[in-house]
Amino acid sequence: MSEILLSVKHLKKNFPIKSARLFKPQRYVRAVDNVSFEIAEGEIMGLVGESGSGKTTTGETIMCLTEPTGGSVTFNGHLIFDVEKGKKAASSDLKEIRRSMQMVFQDPYASLDPRMNIESIITEGLIRIGMYKGSSVHDRAVELVQECGLDADCLAKYPHQFSGGQRQRIGIARAISINPKLLICDEPTAALDVSVQSQVLNLMLSLREKHNMSYLFITHNLNIVRHFCNRVCVMYLGSIVEIAEASKLFSDSAHPYTQALLESSPSIQNPKRGCGKLLSGEIPSPSSPPSGCKFHTRCFHASARCTDEEPVLHDIGGGHMVCCHLFE
């Protein structure tokens, strides 16, 4: 069995809601609420759910791009933070950890500095941490863009001269430049045409094979998850409701929310199609989530217990984790 690379335990992130009224109790948006999962070396973990379910905030909090409210994250055996114990990696240690954990962002148009040429964008991290010096920096830049399917002459150009797919390749080249062990990919194909999506995904698979990287792949595209990921976490309203092997999730999903997601995707051949129901209504506000099970207001199996008692994520067999009273 592969070693655990990333361990996330009871992760929480709350955002305060500003109010014009004095002396009013402070309210919060619970964007990430008690999220726990692990990623093994070389594994691709999918993170799926509707818009507003907390997927992106989860990735940003793991990367310390936003301050956590609770929980702990351990990467490659090193503690990044443990809010409850008041522990956090020192700045020097965090810098070292970030060398092994990088992020690919959703918008290839906004994630690249338009004032910098491609060589400067790709090699900025290399120079800062002193991995390469002098002419070796340029040589490494050539190696990276060619590895990502671009010509070396692109290094003198600027982001506006490239298509969306090419920009995303540049973003990937930048992310892998310092040889990370983990890539957190936030909707990396969402802004791309379908044909370009497949090219980028094939590139990521080849890079993972070559460098033995792990991915946390954040997306709402279930078709991509089915063919690209080893395991899948399903999020709803800031919490994880199901974790399973990708093949198991798509053939024998357990949580009513997961079943409804699969039911709503007509291009997925779901053996249980027709057993569930399509999702109705909007996702509730994370500033005032429902009591008990957060999904009970939209669930076709909801009972009185679901309204009053919050379920706990537990193993129903073979590492298949479900957060639902139906399986207790």
CATH of the domain at 225: 3.40.50.300
Report the mean per-residue pLDDT for the chain.
90
pLDDT at 107: 84
pLDDT at 308: 93
Structural domain range at position 237: 4-100+179-327
- Is residue 90 within 8 Å of residue 64, measured between CB atoms? no
pLDDT at 91: 81
pLDDT at 277: 64
279 against 297, higher pLDDT: 297
pLDDT in tens, 87-120: 998 887 888 888 899 999 888 888 899 999 999 9
Q: Judge whether 296 lies within some domain.
A: yes
The percent of residues above 90 in pLDDT, for the chain, comes to 67
Q: What is the rounded distance in angstroms from the CA atom of residue 244 to the CA atom of residue 249?
A: 6
pLDDT at 266: 65
Half-sphere exposure of 130 (CA within 13 A, CB side): 2
Q: Judge whether 129 lies within some domain.
A: no
pLDDT band (50, 70, 90) for residue 265:
confident
Q: Judge whether 249 lies within some domain.
A: yes
Q: Judge whether 285 lies within some domain.
A: yes
Least confident of 37-41, 126-130, 220-224: 126-130
Give the residue from 157, 289, 160 showing the smallest Cα distance to 236. 289
Asked if the model's pLDDT at residue 12 lies above 60, the reply is yes
pLDDT at 130: 75
Q: Judge whether 67 lies within some domain.
A: yes
Q: Judge whether 140 lies within some domain.
A: no
Q: Which residue has the tokens 């690249």?
A: 112
Angle between helices 135-147 and 118-129 (to 10 degrees): 120
pLDDT at 256: 94
How many CB atoms are located within 10 Å of the residue 294 CB?
25
Asked if the model's pLDDT at residue 272 lies above 60, the reply is no
Domain total of the chain: 1
Q: Judge whether 170 lies within some domain.
A: no
Q: DSSP characters for 248-300?
A: HHHHH--SHHHHHHHHT-TTS--TTTTTS----SPPPPTTSPPSSSTTTTT-T
Q: Judge whether 271 lies within some domain.
A: yes
pLDDT band (50, 70, 90) for residue 305:
very high
Asked if the model's pLDDT at residue 24 lies above 90, the reply is no
Q: What is the rounded distance in angstroms from the CA atom of residue 313 to the CA atom of residue 35?
A: 10
